[in-house]
């Protein structure tokens, strides 16, 4: 690490932070504007919030080591199987609600917005019987240790084959301007190669559908001894149908694996399932 570089942290409040989540890239747009107009030199993003279409003049400079990519059910005690029929489960994600219904058709997915503290407070106040959150986000905010040590809430991690994560979930990335080569090189030194390979596979799969994180699409790649293992799922909105593709290859083939998996899913009718969720042009 370089010790001669001074770093200033600049807080940028995004549309997503302010509750306006309807637009694609709600959690990254304002940060990207700050990059483009020179207010900041590096943007830090959750990869799952970054649209797959690149922004002219910007590029991902580093993929940081991946945190836990799993989702978790949080409740006052019961796990998913122990919740009553008709249990109200809070989630702001169509991917999660579709897979939730596949696991427990009697569940009632309910809209859930706000930051982590707000979501947990709504759970403890009894608005929901349980909520679903990403473990990585919960842990980064210090909420995971707080929950397990100082509350009556219980965290139940959901296996990747039960609740396939959002592509890129658990990965933080650094973004820089395309013309700032010196900044990009500094960032690149922080790249975790396994994390990058997993991101290439998952995001290429997602990008084939021309989408961000708002569709019922899950993908998770693991890297072991230079091999990428990719598992993907597209789910109908009510959870009664799903299309799964599993592929593997070398880390050098990561993006190609993602593309191949998407082509197979499309050939099996994945676009029809997605159109049931959101009309596509």
For domain 71-157, the question of CATH label 3.40.190.10 is answered with yes
Model confidence at 234, in pLDDT bands (50, 70, 90)?
very high
Identify any residues that bridge with 242 across adjacent strands, giving them in sequence order.
235
Domain ranges, ordered by start, for the chain: 29-67+167-275, 71-157
* 155 has pLDDT over 90: yes
Q: Where are the alpha helices (DSSP H) in the chain?
A: 29-36, 94-103, 116-124, 135-140, 143-150, 181-188, 193-207, 254-267, 270-277
Mean pLDDT of 1-7: 70
- Segment among 8-12, 105-109, 149-153 with least mean pLDDT: 149-153
For domain 29-67+167-275, the question of CATH label 3.30.930.10 is answered with no
Higher-scoring residue by pLDDT: 21, 236: 236
Tens of pLDDT along 113-138?
Answer: 888 888 989 999 999 999 999 999 98
Longest C-alpha distance within the chain, in Å? 59
Instruction: Measure the CA–CA gap between 209 and 103, rounded to whole angstroms.
Output: 25
CB-based burial label for 257 (10 Å; 0-12, 13-18, 19+): buried
Identify any residues that bridge with 222 across adjacent strands, giving them in sequence order.
229
Tokens standing for residue 32: 């990207």
Question: What is the side-by-side strand order in the sheet with 42-46?
Answer: 42-46, 172-177, 58-63
Asked whether the CA dihedral 253, 257, 258, 262 is positive or negative, the reply is positive
Tens of pLDDT along 163-198?
Answer: 999 999 999 999 999 999 999 999 999 999 999 999
What pLDDT, on the 0 to 100 scale, is given for residue 29? 87
Model confidence at 1, in pLDDT bands (50, 70, 90)?
low
Tens of pLDDT along 203-212?
Answer: 999 999 976 6
């Amino acid at each position: 690490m370089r010790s001669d570089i001074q770093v200033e942290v600049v807080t940028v409040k995004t549309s997503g932070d302010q509750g306006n989540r309807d637009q694609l890239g709600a959690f990254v747009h304002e940060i990207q504007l700050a990059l483009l107009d020179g207010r900041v030199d590096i943007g830090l993003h959750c990869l799952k919030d970054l649209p797959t279409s690149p922004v002219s003049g910007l590029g991902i400079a580093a993929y940081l080591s991946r945190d836990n990519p799993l989702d978790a059910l949080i409740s006052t005690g019961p796990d998913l199987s122990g919740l009553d029929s008709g249990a109200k489960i809070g989630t702001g994600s169509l991917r999660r609600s579709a897979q939730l219904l596949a696991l427990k058709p009697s569940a009632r997915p309910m809209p859930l917005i706000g930051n982590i503290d707000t979501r947990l407070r709504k759970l403890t106040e009894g608005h929901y019987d349980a909520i679903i959150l990403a473990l990585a986000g919960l842990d980064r905010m210090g909420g995971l240790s707080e929950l397990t040590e100082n509350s009556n809430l219980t965290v139940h991690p959901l296996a990747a084959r039960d609740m396939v994560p959002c592509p890129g979930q658990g990965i933080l990335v650094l973004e820089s301007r395309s013309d700032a080569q010196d900044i990009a090189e500094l960032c690149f030194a922080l790249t975790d190669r396994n994390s990058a390979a997993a991101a290439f596979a998952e995001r290429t799969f997602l990008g084939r559908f021309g989408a961000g994180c708002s569709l019922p699409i899950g993908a998770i790649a693991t890297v072991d001894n230079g091999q990428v293992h990719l598992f993907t799922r597209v789910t109908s909105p009510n959870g009664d149908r799903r299309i799964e593709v599993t592929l593997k290859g070398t880390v050098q083939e990561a993006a190609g694996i993602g593309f191949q998996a998407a082509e197979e899913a499309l050939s099996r009718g994945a676009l029809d399932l997605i159109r049931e969720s959101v009309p596509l042009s």
